[in-house]
Structure 1
Amino acid sequence: MSGFDNNPFAEADSDNPFNNPAITQVTNSGIVPVDQYNPFPANTTDSLATHTTPASTIPYQPAVLQPSTEPSPQATAAAAQANLLRQQEELERKAAELDRREHELQSRGPRAGKENNWPPLPKSFPIKPCFYQDFSEEIPPESQRVCKMLYYLWMFNCVTLFLNLLACLAYFTTKSTYIVDLAFSVLWLILFTPCSFLCWYRPIYKAFKTDSSFSFFFFFFVFFCQVVVFIVQAVGLPHWGTSGWINACSMIAENKAVGAIMIIVAILFTMCAVISIILLKMVHSMYRRTGASFQKAQQEFSQGVFTSKTFQTAAAGAASSAAQGALQGN
């Protein structure tokens, strides 16, 4: 009957896996169950608090931004302004130097220690030089070439006039009626040699020296007349005292030697006319680049007249005479 005392619904010990001695040993140990496990116990919190890593002892350094390689617009504008100021100072310095040089050139003369050197005459000669001339010192570098060419043209014209006198003398030896041409050739040599120097060479020299609009206009007027004279002399009208082409060609049939001399002189007159036209165009092109004008020439002329000592003396004398006449009339 003992077999019937057992509970038929009870599970056998061999069938319960938790009745295994290995498992029961683990479950009966002091391990805290999973549902009661606390990952942050009090002692652990205190330990973490006590073992906190101390702050770094490295001193604090503020962050520094590296400057960019490209300049800012303000720096570019400042550099441009500084460059403009530097250029302006340089221009002002050059202008002051030019003004100083101009005053020195205007003050040059016998009293400033500069003796006249033209025409180049011996010291023992009773007549002394009348003008001071120095291309490298008084004429700007860009104008020296043209000014020298005009000076050489004047000398070439003087030589041509002298040869024309000799040709007219030979012309006169063939026939006594050509005495008129000889007389006029002497007159042209005596008249045109100094007048051409004073009337168109010295004005253009002064124009290049002082950049005077009035001197430029005076040169253009006189030198245009000189070009016309060169053309007339090259043509060689009869009884005008020039060995031009007409007189030379008419003389070839009578005397070939004299005709050949006159043809040479006619060629020289033609060269004078051609060179003068070329130089006139060159001077005109340089004159247009200087910014001169007719109004500026008028102002220079009026200032020169009113500041002239002769004019002031004459005006003062005329005013005093008029005043005395008015007082006497009263």
Structure 2
Amino acid sequence: MSGFDSNPFVDVNPFQDDSITQATSGIPESIGDFNPFSATETGNSSDTTIPISAASSQPAILQTSVEHSPQAAAAAGQANLIKQQEELERKAAELEQKEQELQNRKNNWPPLPKFSPVKPCFYQDFEEEIPEEYRRICKRMYYLWMFHSATLFLNVLACLAYFTANTQSGVDFGLSILWFILFTPVSFICWYRPVYKAFRSDSSFSFFFFFFVFFFQVAVYIIQAIGIPRWGNSGWIASISVLRANLAVAVIMMVVAGFFTFNIVCSLQRIFLLFVHSKYRRTGASFSKAQHEFSQGVLSNRTVQTVAADAASSAAQGAFAVQGN
């Protein structure tokens, strides 16, 4: 039992083994004095040491963005102004070019031959001046005016035939010539050109002027279609009155009366009057806008201003003269 009570580590030292002593015998004796942070051991890595207090005396600052100096802001503003000025100059040059083109543009309506002493008075181009969404209705109004003019010319021929059948109807023939000469250019200027200008420039004043005149034109169509005797119109009453006397003349006059009636239908139906009205409402025209355009276009005219000034001065002189007497 004495063998079990003894300490096995007292008599035997495990580090005294031959293999361990051979392995540890090759370690240099100076390893215990090695300092990795000394200047001599680091060699050429650093010649001086940085004190901790000096390295941590100031906090680190992170620069997130570069601040613009007043000079840079002024330069950017000046560049922006130069860019805006160049854009304005470009637009002014474009407007001047368009104005020159308008001034140099020659009138093309009515299409007269070159040898004619009368030159065209208006410029008309649906493809160039009228927007695509309004071009169709504007052309239809032009066709309506052409049909109106052709009806007035046929009315002259019908009244001439009526005059040959009845010599007492010379008044109708003379008035029919007057209506053709008068109403053809007046209708073109008073209701076709305003609706053309309205679609061309989106003018509220032109729209209102067109509606005002065109309602009177419809009333004239109704009178012409009725055909009151001695009014210069080959309408239904006049054609029926000559039916027993001359059938051929009555048929010609009835055809013209039918043309007048067709003018009424074309003017009142939606494809012309109501459709134009819907287009007018869609463009945003209003009575206030028409008043503004009228004040800008008419009251700012130099001729109107001169006439108004002369009238005011004449009135003032008259008032002083009355007070002097």
TM-score of the superposed pair, with normalisation by structure 2: 0.66
* CA 1:260–1:210: 2 relative to 1, 3 Å: same
Change (3 A) 1:214 1:104: farther
Identify which of 165, 168, 184 aligns with 1:193: 184
Matched-pair contact (CA < 8 Å) for 1:168–1:182? yes
Contact 1:243 1:265 in 2 (8 A): yes
Distance verdict in 2 for CA 1:180–1:319, change over 3 Å: closer
| Secondary structure, aligned partner of 1:242 | coil
Q: Which residue of 2 aligns with 1:174?
A: 165
Aligned to 1:309, which of 294, 302, 312?
302
Task: Give identity over the alignment, percent.
Answer: 61
Alignment CA distance shift 1:169-1:326 (3 Å): closer
Aligned mates of 1:105, 1:152 — CA distance in 2: 33
Matched to 2:276, the amino acid is: V
Structure 1 segments (4+ residues) deviating >3 Å: 102-110, 315-330
CA–CA distance in structure 1, aligned partners of residues 224 and 148 of structure 2: 11
Question: Could you tell me how far 1:313 is from its partner in structure 2?
Answer: 2.3
- Residues of 2 paired with 1:228 and 1:323: CA distance? 44
Change (3 A) 1:245 1:325: closer
Q: Find the counterpart in structure 2 of residue 237 from structure 1.
A: 228
Taking structure 1 as reference, are residues 240 and 319 closer, same or farther at Cα in structure 2, changes over 3 Å only? closer
Q: CA deviation at 1:319?
A: 5.1
| Rg larger for | 1
Q: Which residue of 1 aligns with 2:282?
A: 289
**Residue 106 of structure 1: how far off its partner (Å):** 8.1
Residue 79 (structure 1) aligns with: none
- TM-superposed CA distance for 1:325, in Å, is 7.2
What 5-or-longer segments of structure 1 have no aligned partner?
1-27, 32-42, 44-95
Q: Which residue of 2 aligns with 1:51?
A: none
Structure-1 separation of matches of 2:176 and 2:317: 53
Q: Does the CA-based 8 Å contact 1:109-1:115 persist in structure 2?
A: no
Partner deviation per Cα, 1:250-303 (whole Å, 9 max, x = no partner): 222221110111111111111111111121111101011111111111111111
Aligned to 2:242, the other structure's residue is in SS state: helix
In structure 2, relative to structure 1, the CA distance for the partners of 1:103 and 1:247 (3 Å cut) is: farther
Tell me the number of residue pairs that the alignment of Structure 1 and Structure 2 aligns: 241
1:164 — aligned with what?
Answer: 155
* Aligned alpha-carbon RMSD (Å): 3.2
CA distance in 2, matches of 1:241, 1:327: 54
Structure-2 residue corresponding to 1:125: 116
User: Quick check: 1:264 aligned with 2:264?
Assistant: no
Which position in structure 1 is the counterpart of 2:129? 138
Q: How many angstroms does 1:321 deviate by?
A: 5.2
Deviation at 1:183, TM superposition (A): 1.6
| TM norm structure 1 | 0.65
Map of 1:154 onto structure 2: 145
Alpha-carbon distance in 1 for matches of 2:241, 2:110: 39
Deviations 1:115-143 (A, max 9, x none): 11111112221111111111111111111
Displacement of 1:114 = 0.3
Gaps of 5+ in 2: 5-13, 15-87
